[in-house]
Amino acid sequence: QSVLTQPPSASGTPGQRVAISCSGSSSNIGTNVVFWYQQLPGTAPKLLISRNNQRPSGVPDRFSGSKSGSSASLAISGLRSEDEADYYCAVWDDSLSNWVFGGGTTLTVL
């Protein structure tokens, strides 16, 4: 199992706000910045949120990230059908000397 814990699934209706959590420990999220990646079906991952809460150019402001202690969260507001994807958190783990990813959360827009 993953060092970072994410819920396997999340869902919402169009227009709603959903949040996806990522729980880690003092050796990873508690110490280092968190990144979020979006993987649309059948495609490569794409950087969605950088350094806890920075949106790369082109990422809509409907997406936001936050971090508190050893946990992080991705929020998506104004949910749209094209947001259906897998979402992964990622962080450097000082104890493992490894980049670690969460197990991924599959978002369904009902």
Q: Which residues bind other proteins (CB under 8 A)?
A: 2, 32-33, 35, 37, 43-47, 50-51, 54, 56, 88, 90, 92, 96-104
Comparison of 16 and 98: residue with beta carbon closer to other proteins: 98
| In the complex, minimum distance from the CB of residue 28 to other proteins, in angstroms, rounded to a whole number | 12
| In the complex, minimum distance from the CB of residue 33 to other proteins, in angstroms, rounded to a whole number | 6
| In the complex, minimum distance from the CB of residue 65 to other proteins, in angstroms, rounded to a whole number | 12
DSSP state letters, 25-51: -TTTTTTS--EEEEE-TTS--EEEEBT
Q: Looking up tokens 């003092």, which residue turns up?
A: 26
Beta bridge partners of 49: 36
Give the single-character DSSP code of 3.
Answer: S
